[in-house]
Amino acid sequence: MPNSARSPQTRLFLPRALARKIGVAVPLLLGLIALGRPAAVQAQETTSEEQMRRVEVKEGEVLVGTIVSEDDEEVVLRTDRLGEVTLKRANIKSIDQVDPSRIRDGEYWFPNPQSTRYLFAPNAIGIRKGEGYYQNTWVLFNNVNYGVSNHFSIGAGTVPIFLFGAEALPLWVLPKVSVSTPQQNLHVAGGALLGGVVGEGGGGLGLLYGNATVGSRDHNATVGLGYGYVGDEVSDRPVVNISGMTRIGKKTYLISENYIFPDAGVVSLGLRWAPENFVLDVALFRPLEETGVLVAWPWLGVTVPFGG
């Protein structure tokens, strides 16, 4: 919050009870990320094929295997599940080489369709050029993000409160710049949520942030700092974000997104179900301070990727 909005009683440090709870939450988050690492290691150790192909036919079926033979009319593909399959080229939509690490127990694990964002907070991994996604949370909150390049993305969002008779319309813009190491295991990013209300006077409000992410698109952990602002006033103390995700199955991920405010905190645990072209997030958020009868509040989000 801006300086003018803080009361004189605002404390400069986290309460001891809150600090102890955060001390418990952080190791749990790190354990969550470590949970997914053995599967990735196993995939690389047990997969020796270097010329695996992913073949998508026009009816929508996808087959993964090695090409036994091919000519202008047909492609013969050897698969673990069906043996040798002969496909007419006229029925083939695409043939792509497959990263061997994506073959696990003879099955193809498609790339994470939402690798750059947790439940709400972004990580430092960049959206690939030409790719993007639409995200909806609780029906009302809408975001669209698009990769202009591999290092820069732009997004926008709104809540259509005009549907309820309101004349004002909240809008926000989401620029993000990302840089990764050549090994693609360390990423840093800076961005903002630049908000305002169309139809009302006054200045804008939003958040300026920077974060760092360690890991891959399937298994990663992020630490970020964000400074909120209202009008011309910027908070002099940051909000800390500690989040992570780990892939535990072909279509499932565990996610934890946590915030440390100057005098409070929020932790969460969620499950992501993600077929190749669709993402469903369900989670529970819980404040760390005592809240009486409130135990946790739910999260429901849907993401549809596009491009690529």
Question: What span, in angstroms and rounded, lies between the C-alpha atoms of 109 and 49?
Answer: 15
What band does 262 get if pLDDT is binned at 50, 70 and 90?
Answer: confident
Q: Encode pLDDT of 93-102 as tens digits.
A: 888 888 877 8
Which one, of 33, 42, 44, lies nearest residue 215 by Cα? 33
Question: What span, in angstroms and rounded, lies between the C-alpha atoms of 213 and 199?
Answer: 38
Question: What span, in angstroms and rounded, lies between the C-alpha atoms of 16 and 53?
Answer: 55
Q: Which CATH number fits domain 3-35+112-307: 2.40.160.40, 3.40.605.10, 3.30.390.10, 3.20.20.140?
A: 2.40.160.40
What band does 33 get if pLDDT is binned at 50, 70 and 90?
Answer: low
Least confident of 32-46, 103-117, 216-230: 32-46
Calculate the average pLDDT of the chain.
84
Phi, psi at 248, each rounded to 5°? -110, -5
Question: What span, in angstroms and rounded, lies between the C-alpha atoms of 300 and 292?
Answer: 23
What is the distance of C-alpha 9 from the center of its chain? 37
Question: What span, in angstroms and rounded, lies between the C-alpha atoms of 244 and 219?
Answer: 8
* Residues sharing a CB contact under 8 Å with residue 14, sequence separation 6 or more, in sequence order: 22, 260, 262, 263, 265
Query: Alpha-carbon Rg of the chain, whole angstroms?
Result: 23
* Residue with more model confidence, 187 or 16: 187
What is the distance of C-alpha 207 from the center of its chain? 18
Which residue's entry shows tokens 């934890």? 256
Q: Encode pLDDT of 235-247 as tens digits.
A: 999 999 999 999 9
What's the predicted TM-score (pTM) here?
Answer: 0.78
Q: Encode pLDDT of 60-89 as tens digits.
A: 788 888 889 889 899 999 887 788 999 999
Q: Residue 18 in 3-state DSSP?
A: helix
CATH tag, 48-108: 2.30.30.100
pLDDT of 165: 79
pLDDT of 28: 54
Q: Residue 265 in 3-state DSSP?
A: strand
* Residues sharing a CB contact under 8 Å with residue 277, sequence separation 6 or more, in sequence order: 113, 304, 305
What residues does each domain of the chain span? 3-35+112-307, 48-108
Q: Encode pLDDT of 133-151 as tens digits.
A: 999 999 899 999 999 999 9
* Residue with more model confidence, 191 or 37: 191
Which one, of 62, 56, 64, 63, lies nearest residue 103 by Cα? 64
pLDDT of 10: 32
Question: What span, in angstroms and rounded, lies between the C-alpha atoms of 307 and 161?
Answer: 29
pLDDT of 25: 52
pLDDT of 27: 52
Tell me the mean pLDDT in the region 163-175: 88
What is the distance of C-alpha 145 from the center of its chain? 12
